[in-house]
Structure 1
Amino acid sequence: MALAFDEYGRPFIILREQEQKSRLRGLDAQKANISAGKAVARILRTSLGPKGMDKMLQSPDGDVTITNDGATILDQMDVDNQIAKLMVELSRSQDYEIGDGTTGVVVLAGALLEQAERLLERGVHPIRVAEGYEMASRIAVDHLEHIAQKFEFDAANIEPLVQTCMTTLSSKIVNRCKRSLAEIAVKAVVSVADLERRDVNLDLIKVEGKVGGKLEDTELINGIIVDKDMSHPQMPKQIQNAKIAILTCPFEPPKPKTKHKVDIDSVEKFQTLRLQEQKYFDDMVQKCKDVGATLVICQWGFDDEANHLLMHRNLPAVRWVGGVELELIAIATGGRIVPRFQELTTEKLGKAGLVREKSFGTTKERMLYIEECANSRAVTIFIRGGNKMMIEETKRSVHDALCVARNLIRNNSIVYGGGSAEISCSIAVEAAADKYPGVDMLSGPLQMLSKLSLWHLRRTVDYNPLKQFLQLNLNKSRKTTPTVGLTVMMLGQMTCVSKMCLKL
């Protein structure tokens, strides 16, 4: 190591070991990048399938997270390699667009990289590999659209949606309550969905949690839950037929926007200032009373004198409510958010049949329930659990179930699982090898890709993967049906498994 100086006299260090390092080029660079991508996929492989294992993650602050959600695992991993970061972004995009399948998409990408490495070792040009993958992808997508079946349901018959969400929750840590959680998720999605336009706005579904109780105590509230309580302990805890003033302006006297100050040099001047502030508070409270408000929800805090005056005027109030929660309250109650007191009118008040404050356990923690709202399209899923870690994992699981139900409402086309769709796509790509130049060299690797995914899927259910794959491939070759796949106990028709699940 040597110390040198630049033309401005700033010192910098020369590392002699740096001269011994060489830049990777060509096949070596490609193999290094592929190795980084495969390493990320290898980490997630054990979390795939009906018996996939959970990962225990510890943050730099010491917080522990236990989950098998691929997006959460990768989001909390400390990844430095740029190719590995692309895999993380892939999982994040899958979670943002679809909401589920974050583990499977990374494992699939890792398998594609593994097959690409073999092609590169055989001397195939990287551009040629990419073009072949793109062409094979189009063939597979077209084949999936061909073998897809329509998923029929309506608002009166949500059982098919419930069964699908139960499948999503089967691999989660909350699978012992998958029936109740699936019903809650489906009812929440149907409540906010426009089935005629096939549109679902998940922003209208708020997922809240509180430590305590059992997982079975999780409930769906047709309204909004706010993690706040009344601003004064002597205010009423329950309000019937509430008319709510939703404010984003501070409940305090206006402050001058200058750097000047007021000097008070006598008791009379101080008394005058106090009376003026008291009159300002009195006018604000009277304004709320005149428009007919029976509850005030404010984004900002209250001055102590204003809070005391609200209590004496019998006007319950809630302070420090977040902006997102204010929007949900406005949507649910049909009210308007008021940015200035001068704009507060009777028409802008929200309406709710019942507003109540609820306490939990022996602690002082309380939450505000806003129920029987004018617009029932805003709902809340309230999760209970023994600890914070369980609450957070349940939130992630419920989010996956919500996204699955939303996706089925938007597009009701389905393909069967158990590896049946993958094997069917592999056979379709192999059959198209004679028609499309460039696909012929990929038909073999893509067949190996389907074998790889099924191999690992079978390992997660503790059975011999090679024997089952060979039998499955033989059945696929003899039959043209795209529904033959692997179940947890045996090889069979996925349609039969679906019918059996619907009967349970």
Structure 2
Amino acid sequence: MASQGQIAFDEFGRPFIILRDQENQKRLTGLDAQKSHILAAKAIANTLRTSLGPKGLDKMMVSPDGDVTITNDGATILQQMDVQHEIAKLMVQLSKSQDDEIGDGTTGVVVLAGALLEYAEQLLDRGIHPIRVADGYEMAAHTAIEELERIAETFPVDGDNPEPLIKTAMTTLSSKIVNKCHRQMAEIAVNAIMSVADFERKDVDFELIKVEGKVGGTMEDSLLVKGVIVDKDFSHPQMPKEVRDAKLAILTCPFEPPKPKTKHKLDISSVEDFHKLREYEKEKFDEMVENVKSKGANLVICQWGFDDEANHLLLQKQLPAVRWVGGPEIELIAIATGGRIVPRFEELTSDKLGYAGIVRELSFGTTKDKMLVIEECKNSRAVTIFIRGGNKMIVDEAKRSVHDALCVTRNLIKDGRIVYGGGAAEIAASLSVAKKADEISTLEQYAMRAFADALESIPLALAENSGHAPIQTVAEIKSRQITENNPRLGIDCMFTGSSDMKEQHVIETLLSKKQQILLATQVVKMILKIDDIRAPNDKL
């Protein structure tokens, strides 16, 4: 043992042995390494596979602290999973990329990548080199995207007629926990985007949309506020519950009398001294209040707190105030009301005040929870989506669902083309890739056929999750797409009796579908080209 290890001593003098087994560790290389990578990626994809589609199942994640999250959003599931394998981490990043870029299709992109790797494994077993497989996948992805662009339909994005956008948002929400009121949620999301969208630049600033949730009530109580909601109330219960034509002083300095600094010592030896100090503080505070009122402000939003004495004086001077408003919230209020954030009282001027038509206190629930609503703002483009739900899990999942609906609507404003969901677009792309493979004489044709089969994994998963016989249903739809020349035919997940996704209004954005195929192909190519993993301290 002495030859293999080294004796060391801890701080109490107890001996322990350090074993050197770095040289004895087995490292996977070549085909074994690729098989290991594919196995890890397939494990992740199979976990998400059952969450795909409107009948997909939810996952429950429990954090180390015992917090429970229930969701079927692919990106959220993978972020919460504690994965150790490097390739599994790549799949988590893949889902996150789709979420950041598009916001929708986070489950589909991982399922597709898993299927691509599964079929790639069969090709590797047949002796085809990984680079040839990767090249074939690249060619197939281009063919699939060309087909998607061919079958895509232009979508009317019109601020005066939001109905088509609402139907698209409803497709996204149909697989979420909010599907019992998905029409209402879709309307809220579309109206929020319409309020902040810049149609000339074809862009949407998400910074102007705040999603606020509060436990209590039902999901139907959710609403869109054309302004800002702050989870605070007026600092004194006797202050007015409503301020009209509010001119807001937005302060980041403490609204209270000056305090002696800690390094100074203040001796108060008599009652008179104490009264003098109190009078001085009151006088200074009166000056502060008068200073704010003289500039025309009739409401103060303060980032910091103020004590009860200051609160009482504010009430006496009839100056409503809100305290402890957080940094992001105070910035949003400044953007919405057109005000400037003032760091020192001396800098407050009348042109730095924000304006809101009405600031009112909302009271709801048996607990009489209170929130402030700032409406009719100068910058009417700032909006807040206020979500209610029976418990924290439902509110959190509703927030994630609304985020997806917002992203889909944003994508339609960026690129107003759509394809049909329910696996219709994937089957059409699969048929196109398989046809193209027959025209190619080189080895890449095998990889292209594998790509076509992998594309079918999405409709297969949808059919399986909905309770259909998967292979029979997909084969039937494929056959009908060819004979009827109709790329709108997909899986009837909701058992409506029609496979035409146009009739069912199951719509997905072209941007989302293209991004799914491109991202999945890029990651799979990257994984196929890895034949060894070394840690930084590994010795050759």
Given the two structures, how large is their TM-score scaled by the length of structure 1?
0.92
Superposed, which structure 2 residues align to 1:84-103 within 5 Å? 84-103=88-107
Q: Is 1:91–1:103's contact at 8 Å kept on the other side of the alignment?
A: yes
The equivalent residue for 1:228 is 232
Q: Report Cα offsets for 1:112-147 as digits up to 9, x if no partner.
A: 111111121122222222222222222222222222
Instruction: Identify the match of residue 441 of structure 1 among 446, 450, 455.
Output: 446
The equivalent residue for 1:128 is 132
Does 2:500 correspond to 1:497? no
2:309 aligned counterpart, secondary structure: helix
Q: Quote the offset at 1:48 in angstroms.
A: 0.4
Does 2:265 correspond to 1:262? yes
1-structure distance, mates of 2:506, 2:370: 45
Instruction: Identify the match of residue 484 of structure 1 among 471, 482, 489.
Output: 489
Does 2:170 correspond to 1:166? yes
Q: Name the % identity.
A: 61
Q: Quote the offset at 1:357 in angstroms.
A: 1.5
2-structure distance, mates of 1:24, 1:342: 68
The equivalent residue for 1:54 is 58
1:174 aligned counterpart, secondary structure: helix
More displaced, 173-182 or 279-288?
279-288
Q: Report Cα offsets for 1:17-76 as digits up to 9, x if no partner.
A: 877641111111111111111111111111101200111221222222211111111111
The equivalent residue for 1:39 is 43
Superposed, which structure 2 residues align to 1:22-421 within 5 Å? 22-253=26-257, 260-264=263-267, 266-267=269-270, 270-421=274-425
Q: Quote the offset at 1:496 in angstroms.
A: 3.5
2-structure distance, mates of 1:13, 1:19: 17
Does 2:463 correspond to 1:458? yes
- Specify the code of the residue in structure 2 equivalent to 1:357: E
2-structure distance, mates of 1:122, 1:469: 27
Which residues of structure 2 form unaligned runs of 5+?
508-540
1-structure distance, mates of 2:489, 2:243: 58
Q: Quote the offset at 1:381 in angstroms.
A: 1.3
Q: Is 1:426–1:443's contact at 8 Å kept on the other side of the alignment?
A: no
2-structure distance, mates of 1:152, 1:311: 53
Q: Quote the offset at 1:498 in angstroms.
A: 3.2
Q: Is 1:136–1:439's contact at 8 Å kept on the other side of the alignment?
A: no
Task: Could you list the structure 1 runs, at least 4 aligned residues long, displaced by more than 6 angstroms after superposition.
Answer: 6-12, 16-19
Q: Report Cα offsets for 1:301-333 as digits up to 9, x if no partner.
A: 113332222121111111111111112111221
Q: Quote the offset at 1:244 in angstroms.
A: 0.7
- Specify the code of the residue in structure 1 equivalent to 2:504: V
2-structure distance, mates of 1:287, 1:382: 35
Instruction: Identify the match of residue 469 of structure 1 among 464, 467, 474.
Output: 474
- Specify the code of the residue in structure 2 equivalent to 1:402: L
1-structure distance, mates of 2:9, 2:180: 70
2-structure distance, mates of 1:340, 1:372: 27
Q: Quote the offset at 1:420 in angstroms.
A: 2.2
More displaced, 291-300 or 228-237?
228-237
Q: Quote the offset at 1:364 in angstroms.
A: 4.6
- Specify the code of the residue in structure 1 equivalent to 2:6: A
Q: Is 2:91–2:110's contact at 8 Å kept on the other side of the alignment?
A: yes
2-structure distance, mates of 1:410, 1:481: 27
1-structure distance, mates of 2:41, 2:498: 31
Q: Is 1:383–1:394's contact at 8 Å kept on the other side of the alignment?
A: yes
1-structure distance, mates of 2:299, 2:287: 16
Aligned residues: 499
Q: Is 2:299–2:321's contact at 8 Å kept on the other side of the alignment?
A: yes
Residues 13 and 102 of structure 1: CA distance in aligned 2, closer, same or farther (over 3 Å): farther
Residues 386 and 397 of structure 1: CA distance in aligned 2, closer, same or farther (over 3 Å): same
- Specify the code of the residue in structure 1 equivalent to 2:352: K
Q: Is 1:46–1:52's contact at 8 Å kept on the other side of the alignment?
A: yes
Residues 460 and 205 of structure 1: CA distance in aligned 2, closer, same or farther (over 3 Å): same
Residues 322 and 133 of structure 1: CA distance in aligned 2, closer, same or farther (over 3 Å): same
Q: Report Cα offsets for 1:447-498 as digits up to 9, x if no partner.
A: 2213322222111121112222222232344454432322233574333433
Residues 5 and 272 of structure 1: CA distance in aligned 2, closer, same or farther (over 3 Å): farther
- Specify the code of the residue in structure 2 equivalent to 1:474: S
2-structure distance, mates of 1:368, 1:194: 28
2-structure distance, mates of 1:420, 1:499: 10
1-structure distance, mates of 2:80, 2:301: 36
Q: Report Cα offsets for 1:239-298 as digits up to 9, x if no partner.
A: 1211111111222355688x7322426336555544443333222111111011111001
- Specify the code of the residue in structure 1 equivalent to 2:269: S
1:243 aligned counterpart, secondary structure: strand
The equivalent residue for 2:6 is 4
2-structure distance, mates of 1:83, 1:296: 53
Q: Is 2:112–2:455's contact at 8 Å kept on the other side of the alignment?
A: no
- Specify the code of the residue in structure 2 equivalent to 1:315: L
2-structure distance, mates of 1:85, 1:408: 30
2-structure distance, mates of 1:57, 1:337: 41
Residues 363 and 112 of structure 1: CA distance in aligned 2, closer, same or farther (over 3 Å): same
- Specify the code of the residue in structure 2 equivalent to 1:415: V
Q: Report Cα offsets for 1:73-114 as digits up to 9, x if no partner.
A: 111111111111111111111111111111111111111111
More displaced, 77-86 or 230-239?
230-239
More displaced, 19-28 or 31-40?
19-28
Q: Is 2:112–2:457's contact at 8 Å kept on the other side of the alignment?
A: no
Task: State the structure with bigger RCO (CA 8 A, min sep 6), 1 or 2.
Answer: 2
Q: Is 1:468–1:491's contact at 8 Å kept on the other side of the alignment?
A: no
More displaced, 209-218 or 309-318?
209-218
1-structure distance, mates of 2:506, 2:419: 14
2-structure distance, mates of 1:330, 1:128: 57
